[in-house]
Homo-oligomer: A and B are copies of this chain.
């Protein structure tokens, strides 16, 4: 059962308390956006003037490379540097259950009592656009709450790498030695989107050859932005080794983005996609409420009967708006 819809004053109060760093207010606001509460628009409107400051870092990589451990290690390093940190762990692989299988979240336990760390697991609900829907709204909450850095860790596989890159200012791609990651990475398109590459578990055999292989495929990759040469960092996240260097490279990339139009370009593209996804979801909702001859069910029946085709039916549906 969702909680009752908060009043306008209550939303303003929640935003004010979130901006003061009250973790419960942050959590409540994320719940409101994640549950697509009717208050969503109001929350978004109240947050708007207070966003745009946080640096969003996406973490992606195949299962088993140590994403959770790396996230925890990065949080430690960022906290030591005095940063306020937000963590969103998104599991887009579970469209049906609506719940994330995030048993390994317990590894974040050491940070659970730190008031300047906000940790949140989200399941993408199989909504139109998947990640593109609720996650940007949760990012806005953490941004308004004063996070300097927000880590977005995707638990899934497949297209989610690319989606998480679309949300991030800086995208970290994690690999591990000897997992055949070269071909995997090429297949998933993550070479095109990685800003910093991390070879975790670098104490294992094959770390150096993975680095060489990765370096040569990065050199060949058809990267959109050529001015930035993505560094490769070796880490052993379980022991915190190399993690300070990762933080340094994230900062280097941020400075690179800010020194040119890079940050604005990325954020404009991201905001366009966000607006578009919301607009499309709103249109889709209207489709469900079309009446008369242009009802979706009636159109589908006509297509099934061979009396119409899907494109003609779609034209009728759009014309009904």
**Is the CB–CB distance between B187 and A101 below 8 Å?**
yes
Is A283 an interface residue, CB under 8 A from the partner?
Answer: yes
User: Could you say which residues of chain B place their CB within 8 Å of the CB of A94?
Assistant: 187-189
Copies in the complex: 2
Q: Is the CB of B279 within 8 A of A287?
A: yes
**Complex: A160 Cα to B192 Cα, angstroms:** 22
Contacts of A159 in B (CB 8 A): 92-93, 95, 126, 130, 158-159
Instruction: Check if A51 sits within 8 Å of B95, measured CB to CB.
Output: no
Known: A157-B158, A159-B95. A304 touches B192 (CB 8 A): no
Q: Hey, what's the 0/1 contact readout for A147-169 against B, CB within 8 Å counting as 1? A: 00000000011111010000000
Contacts of A272 on B, CB cut-off 8 Å?
A: 296-297, 299-300
Binds B, one of A39-47, A198-206, A252-260: A39-47
Q: Would B318 and A47 count as touching, CB distance under 8 A?
A: no
Judged by a CB distance under 8 angstroms, whether A113 is at the interface is no
| A112 contacts B by Cβ under 8 Å | no
Q: How far is the CB of A194 from chain B (nearest CB, A)?
A: 12
Within 8 Å of chain B (Cβ to Cβ): is A7? no
- Closest chain B residue to A91 by CB distance? B187
Chain B: which residue is nearest A96 at the CB level? B189
- Residues of A that sit less than 8 Å from B by CB: 40-41, 44-45, 47-52, 92-97, 101, 126, 128, 130, 136-137, 156-160, 162, 187-189, 192, 264, 267-269, 271-272, 274-276, 278-280, 282-284, 287, 296-297, 299-301, 303-304, 306-315, 317-318, 321
Q: List 6 A-B contacts (CB under 8 A).
A: A41-B311, A41-B312, A44-B312, A92-B158, A96-B162, A283-B318
Given contacts A130-B159, A158-B159, A269-B300, 20 further A-B contacts (CB under 8 A): A41-B311, A44-B309, A45-B311, A49-B306, A93-B159, A94-B187, A96-B189, A96-B192, A156-B158, A158-B158, A268-B297, A268-B300, A271-B303, A272-B299, A274-B303, A275-B299, A275-B303, A275-B313, A278-B311, A283-B318
